[in-house]
Structure 1
Amino acid sequence: MADNNQTVDTTRCTGNAETYTDSDTTEGAINVKGLPAGTYTLVETVAPVLHELPDAADAWYTFTISEDGVASDIADAKGGTTMLTDASGTSMNTIGDTRATGSATWKKTDIAGNALGGSTWKVTFCPDSSPNSCDEPVTITDWAPTDGSATHTECSATWACDTDSAAGSFKLTSLPWGTYTPVEQKAPNGYVADTTPRTFTIVRSKAADPIDATQLAKDVGSTENEISITSLPMTGGEWTPRNVALIGISALVLAAVSYGIVKRRRRG
């Protein structure tokens, strides 16, 4: 940078081999002292854990140190200021990195492990920044294209979308950090929904927790559905083979008990 926007003679810009240290012990805060007067370019070369470096065109920042030791605000690649004021009223140059996003997968099968397509789910998301203030549930429908498509274009702008083209297989991508709870709302045709909540966490459940890189990709597992039996008269709902078997066993037990009572009465 030159006074009055004069062209800078780049032959006068030379690298400084001197190493400077961060004098601020606060995590995420950097304070470098003793810089000589001049123009400086900042380039982030290594991002914090589970954060991503900005695009190359936006990866550099500039500032100047005047002859009397006064530092200018840091400007981004487009010339905008990075000076922000926090909740306490403190202003400082702030350079943000984008968080890496997560993914989650699960499968929908029958009790024999065969894939079942066509289920619909509700997923509730609670961000790590406000774990007690969850978003409204979103609907996730099993995506199983019949035209051979490999990319679900509707998922480009939202995480609330199945990106796995196989029937009965779910994959959510671009998941922000926080807690998710999927619950099956509609089972595949001919089956009964399993409404058990299956909560999982991407990276951390609340901001006070440490970052856990092992929780960036989650396998929620497999959810089984039982066959629906709807031919029972006057039951008012769906039944599974397990329900019917339990009723049959209960009826046999009741019959055996009744038979025993009648037999004792005859003996008496």
Structure 2
Amino acid sequence: MQVEIRVLGPLEVYVGGTSIVPSASKPSQLLAMLALNPGHPVSVRALTEEIWGCRPPRSGKPTLQTYILKLRRMLAHALAGTDGLCSKDVLVTRRPGYALAVDPDDVDAVRYDRLSAAGRRAAVDGDHEQAARLLTEALGLWRGQALADVPTGPLLGIEAVRLEETRLGDLHLRIEADLRLGRHHQVLGELAAVCARHPMLENFCAQHMVALYRCGRRGEALLAYRGLRATMIGQLGVEPSHRVWDLHQSILRGRVVPEDPSLAVSG
């Protein structure tokens, strides 16, 4: 049985090349909960809380069973012609709830977490080439915001935030690895876009300053700092951290050289 589950973007679940994602929002939430826990049961209580919050309707449990039945019907259609498998073999009833009996590697988020952890270990070990390669592969699994087209309740919302924060951290580490490998020209455009999307994230601004300085664009590096400072003061009433201020001062006074690895700041 060929299964492909993608949550790093719009929800996509294919069984034998056939999509089993329902068009209705609540069954999609249920499927997303199961997809993020491959091979492990998700309790009826957790599913109910995700779909209806802390005050589910009296009909919550039978309605949940109706959603399960709908998913199994879609699975049955996708499994038609598959020898020896039925929908209950894939979407199984297992105390205290339900589970998708699939290989965890069928889920892009599982593969992402594994590659992310390996890339971070390589970064800690100082293997910047390996870190850049692994983190590039990990980030390449993303197709947009996690669960972009699925309404998220309290549980899916937490997981979506975790994935997005991990993604930002991995992007920072991958760019740092590239900077340490002397690829400052290659990351300039990417950093400009990231800083435009996240104007108050100091780590990315610092990396942008580093890349600009190393490319001989000292004035623009200083302007990047001024933009960060103006935004932080205007929106938060605070100055940038001393770490970024120190980097600004070093660039301002010309006391560093473009190849200096200490410019590849990390948080």
TM-score computed with the length of structure 1 as normaliser = 0.22
Computing the radius of gyration from Cα coordinates, the structure with the larger value is 1
TM-score computed with the length of structure 2 as normaliser = 0.22
